[in-house]
Amino acid sequence: MYKIVRKKQLNPAIYMMDIEAPLVAKSALPGQFIIVRNTEYGERIPLTVADINKEEGTVTIVFQTVGASTMELAQFEEGECIASFVGPLGKPSDLCTEPKEVVKEKKVIFIAGGVGTAPVYPQVKWMKENGYQCDVIMGARNKDLLIMEDMMREVATNLYVCTDDGSYGFAGNVTKCLEDLVKNQGKVYNHAVVIGPMIMMKFACLMTKQLNIPTIVSLNPIMVDGTGMCGACRVIVGNEVKFACVDGPEFDGHLVDFDQAMRRQNIYKTEEGKKKLAFEEGKTHHGGCGNCKEDK
């Protein structure tokens, strides 16, 4: 059992929790994720690590109430325990594993959309703790939906906040803000990390490609069971079949087939859609793991 040390509601639909999990906190790195189960027989919920406190032995998660399991999780209070908290899973951010001399040469811009701010934060925090500078663009549809602004401002070299409706900060989405920084304000970047809704990542990558900025995206939003067996996070990257949970969650954003991934994501939500995809994709539907009846 894993105790909820702190709980905070960030906006009407997004919550932050610090979970007591010392072994996970000891080994987790920015970019990785964990799997939560509220109860012994509860649904598996993959959530990106939003912060790590090794001294306290806690891991921070941020989640949006979009289904029954996340709505149930939001009902848990401080001092209560969840059944399981498994991780760290997935591959850490390249920035955390590349040689220091390589990272030092990068002029990094992080682009966070909505709840994607949560997985961006630990990477930006890691950059500051290791002596690297980076800029951050974070955006939401309106001011009330922005999260973690004060936390991000403490670790980012420069923070640019934008809202689609112009109610706060730059008037426009994150893609327009990036374009303005580069074309009008003379900013120069040679590495971008983009995390947020799939449609936002698609258009941000179109812009970074136009600006000739190599780009990494996190495909955590399409994960379901987090082990590669359900097939939900199957995606085409550079004409190869990948699975976000076992091959990622981070990929070269200029190679991801976002249209296919979003179409597949919508189809996968229905039972008939799952059967259709299983037929179309054959053995690659579940990665050929051999653990699911569809693979046999």
In this structure, are residues 234 and 251 in contact, taking their beta carbons and an 8 Å threshold? no
- Which carries the bigger pLDDT value, residue 294 or residue 9? 9
Q: Pick from 43, 68, 89: which residue ends a domain?
A: 89
Residue type at 46 in one-letter notation:
P
User: For 153-207, how does the pLDDT look when each residue is reduced to its tens digit (9 = 90+)?
Assistant: 999 999 999 999 998 999 999 999 999 999 999 999 999 999 998 889 999 999 9
Among the residue ranges 3-17, 158-172, 237-251, the one predicted with the least confidence is: 237-251
Among the residue ranges 35-49, 105-119, 201-215, the one predicted with the least confidence is: 35-49
State the DSSP code for 142. Answer: S
41 pLDDT band, cuts 50/70/90, is: confident
Residues 82 and 19 in one domain: yes
> What local confidence, expressed as pLDDT, does residue 272 receive?
40
Residues 99 and 204 in one domain: yes
Give the integer Cα–Cα distance in Å for 207 and 184. Answer: 15
Among the residue ranges 73-82, 92-101, 213-222, the one predicted with the least confidence is: 213-222
What's the pTM value of the predicted model, to 2 decimals?
Answer: 0.82
| Average pLDDT estimate for 61-84 | 89
* Sheet (strand 84-89) strand order: 45-48, 33-37, 84-89
Residues 213 and 289 in one domain: no
Residues 148 and 244 in one domain: no
294 pLDDT band, cuts 50/70/90, is: very low
Residues 109 and 185 in one domain: yes
Q: Pick from 179, 194, 218: which residue ends a domain?
A: 218
Residues 65 and 158 in one domain: no
Give the integer Cα–Cα distance in Å for 177 and 138. Answer: 9
Please give the angle made by the CA atoms of 78, 152 and 163, to the nearest 5 degrees.
Answer: 105
Q: Total structural domains in the chain?
A: 3
Any idea what the CATH number is for the domain that residue 202 is in? 3.40.50.80
Domain encompassing residue 37: 2-89
Any idea what the CATH number is for the domain that residue 7 is in? 2.40.30.10
Task: Report the DSSP pairing between strands 170-171 and 234-237.
Answer: unpaired
Residue type at 245 in one-letter notation:
C
Give the integer Cα–Cα distance in Å for 63 and 43. Answer: 15
Q: Pick from 218, 247, 262: which residue ends a domain?
A: 218
In this structure, are residues 195 and 119 in contact, taking their beta carbons and an 8 Å threshold? yes
Encoding tokens for residue 151?
Answer: 């936390």
Residues 295 and 229 in one domain: yes
Under DSSP, is residue 248 helix (H, G, I), strand (E, B) or coil?
coil
